[in-house]
Chain A
Amino acid sequence: MNKQKFLKELEKRLAILSEAERNDTINEYRDIIEEKVKHGKTEEEAVREFGSIDELTKEILTAYKIDPEYQTKQEGKDQTKGFVETTEDLIKKGAQKISEVANEVAESVTNSNTFTTENVIHIVFKIFFILLGLAILKIPFSMISEIGESIFEIHFLPFSRALQIIWKVLIEFAYLIICIFVVITYVKKYFNSQDTEEQIYSKRQENNLDRKIQIKKKIDSNKNASDNIFITLIKIFICAFIFFPICCINFGLILALAFVIYLIYKGVSMLGILLTLVGILIIGFEFCHMIYNVLFIGKKHHFLSLIIGFIITLVGLVSTIDYVMGFTFYNELPNDKFTTKTITYEEQITVPTSIMNNDVKVIVDSTLEDNFAKFEVTYYDENNASVEKRFYKMDEQNDLYFDIEHQNRSFNWNRDINEKLIDQLKTKEIYNYDLLNQVQVKVYVNDHTKDFIQ
């Protein structure tokens, strides 16, 4: 009998002991065997020296003051056990199993030794991937469910409703079972894929929380093929949803950086923004590099450049805030370049009228006649812009809208504006260029006509 077989057999025979005691015993015997092997004996020899396993079990159980015959008696009883008891046992065992698995998960999470970035990323993406897989799995199930329901609706008319519900419940149940099965399989596989020695250690830890054990992380040589496929899929997933987007962001940042450098070349002092962009770029590239290392090389990454990136970003942000706070905002356009122009319209107002512009003032002027309104429309006359007056007539009501028309907006116009913007950035002034698209409307009416203006 080799070590593994012997320990398994012993574990089986000591099933009557509490799990902690049993593991303790097994561990002790394992240690002894391992020591013997270290001193030149074979596993078989070491096991043989323990004498017959029957005798051994008896002695161990006696040491615990347990009647060694108890188990054989119990086995006889088991056979006569009723169905109900058996199912009860089954449920108990299931619950035990689940709590065991939960314990193991909790342990591996709390165990700081295995808490490397690599492992965390690995676990998180495994979980994410399982959830994703289950979500995708839901699609065929709901399709089957829908098809079944429509078939029932057409062909089994009197009972269709009941059959549909039964069908739906069945499908949902099947889906649920498959979900549970998949999750359990993967959880099991995850723990099995870890080195057996590590498992033993973690089991020991269960019993002796005070044990401080250095878990040597060994790469499992016999990882099975499906696990490899799984890892590949995770890698693809990370590439598609994290790596690629970050690369795109980096590209965008490079463009922004180029623009900022252009502005600095033009004489705008945007050092803070430049620093911020450089810092974020460093972080972005380092992050890409880190993911690449973890995914394809399995190397740990130095965080130094990330920290440098963060510091540069922080300094940049502070000076950017300082720079931005120095700006003055004017809710107008520079007077030297843009002049306002005012047009007046005179209108008969005989039906209720809404004026749809943003900036409307109604002024009462009793000298005016009834049903008569005078509109004063003010706008920035920029490259011969003009204002179009538009009536939208509806039943019993008018909508009036003054729309600005820029006749000569061209590439040149944009270039002019850009030049102005750059000049203003230098002098730390910001003007509200949106006003170019707005018109100011003043309506003069008498008291009677005022009621028509809404």
Chain B
Amino acid sequence: MVMRGDSINTQFKKGVLEMIVLLCVSKKDMYGYELIEEVSKVVDVNDGTIYPLLKRLTNEKYAETYLEESTEGPPRKYYKITVLGQARLEELKESWSTFADSVGKFIKESSKK
């Protein structure tokens, strides 16, 4: 399932993007392009917005970067989740599920009538 981009969705997507990115990096360390590919499997997002987000995450110490030689071309900058990031992810996941649950419940209730 890919969330298609229209103007209302943009705000939703922005909200969950941080969680999705953290989820991606918590699975394994990734470099920029890999992350964009991975994230766009879930949400259709402007590629450009990922980097500022990553920048913010590293600034807030949720993620850290390191360089690794690649067999093709220049060395890649890998993003790795930190302990702080793990905690943040748990927080985000929890608030997301409560939010999704309550919204889901509300939708169900509304459609019953």
A59 touching B74 in the complex, CB below 8 Å, given contacts A31-B32, A32-B33, A49-B47: no
The answer for the CA separation of A62 and B49 in the assembled complex, in Å, is 11
Q: Mark A203-217, 1 if CB is under 8 A from B, else 0.
A: 010001011110000
Query: Counting chain B CB atoms within 10 Å of each CB, which of A35, A62, A64, A210 scores highest?
Result: A35
A158 within 8 A of B: no
Task: List the B residue with the shortest CB-CB distance to A29.
Answer: B51
Q: Cβ of B47 and Cβ of A60 under 8 Å apart?
A: no
Q: Cβ of B59 and Cβ of A63 under 8 Å apart?
A: yes
The answer for the CA separation of A212 and B48 in the assembled complex, in Å, is 28
Number of interface residues of A (CB under 8 A): 28
A36 within 8 A of B: yes
Q: Mark A400-429, 1 if CB is under 8 A from B, else 0.
A: 000000000000000000000000000000
Q: Mark A1-44, 1 if CB is under 8 A from B, else 0.
A: 00000000000000000000000010111011011101000000
A64 touching B55 in the complex, CB below 8 Å, given contacts A50-B46, A210-B67, A213-B74: yes
- Scan residues 194-245 of chain A and give those whose CB is less than 8 A from a CB of chain B: 200-201, 204, 208, 210-213
A55 within 8 A of B: yes
| Chain A residues with CB below 8 A from B33, complex form | 31-32, 35-36
Partner of A59 from B31, B52, B69 at Cβ < 8 Å: B52
| Chain A residues with CB below 8 A from B59, complex form | 63-64
A60 touching B74 in the complex, CB below 8 Å, given contacts A55-B46, A210-B67: no
- Scan residues 46-81 of chain B and give those whose CB is less than 8 A from a CB of chain A: 46-49, 51-56, 59, 67, 69, 72-77
Partner of B46 from A49, A60, A204 at Cβ < 8 Å: A49
Q: Cβ of A34 and Cβ of B51 under 8 Å apart?
A: no
Partner of A31 from B49, B53, B69, B74 at Cβ < 8 Å: B74
| Chain A residues with CB below 8 A from B51, complex form | 25, 28-29, 32, 60
Q: Cβ of B77 and Cβ of A63 under 8 Å apart?
A: no
| Chain A residues with CB below 8 A from B46, complex form | 49-51, 55-56
Q: Cβ of A50 and Cβ of B48 under 8 Å apart?
A: yes
Tell me, rounded to whole Å, the shortest Cβ–Cβ distance linking A317 to chain B. Answer: 48
| Chain B residues with CB below 8 A from A50, complex form | 46-48
Tell me, rounded to whole Å, the shortest Cβ–Cβ distance linking A189 to chain B. Answer: 25
Interface of B is mostly: helix
Partner of B67 from A59, A63, A211 at Cβ < 8 Å: A211
Q: Cβ of A51 and Cβ of B32 under 8 Å apart?
A: no
| Chain A residues with CB below 8 A from B75, complex form | 211-213
The answer for the CA separation of A55 and B48 in the assembled complex, in Å, is 9
B22 within 8 A of A: no
Tell me, rounded to whole Å, the shortest Cβ–Cβ distance linking A65 to chain B. Answer: 8
A59 touching B49 in the complex, CB below 8 Å, given contacts A31-B31, A210-B67: yes
Q: Cβ of A63 and Cβ of B53 under 8 Å apart?
A: yes
| Chain B residues with CB below 8 A from A62, complex form | 52
Q: Mark B23-54, 1 if CB is under 8 A from A, else 0.
A: 00000000111001000000000111101111
Q: Cβ of A31 and Cβ of B76 under 8 Å apart?
A: yes
Q: Cβ of A35 and Cβ of B32 under 8 Å apart?
A: yes
The answer for the CA separation of A55 and B5 in the assembled complex, in Å, is 16
Task: List the A residue with the shortest CB-CB distance to B76.
Answer: A31
Partner of B77 from A31, A38, A51, A201 at Cβ < 8 Å: A31
| Chain A residues with CB below 8 A from B47, complex form | 32, 49-51
| Chain B residues with CB below 8 A from A34, complex form | 73
Can you list 24 pairs linking A and B with CB atoms under 8 Å apart? A25-B55, A27-B77, A28-B32, A28-B51, A28-B54, A31-B31, A31-B33, A31-B76, A31-B77, A32-B33, A32-B36, A36-B33, A49-B46, A50-B48, A51-B47, A56-B49, A59-B52, A62-B52, A63-B52, A63-B59, A64-B59, A211-B75, A213-B74, A213-B75
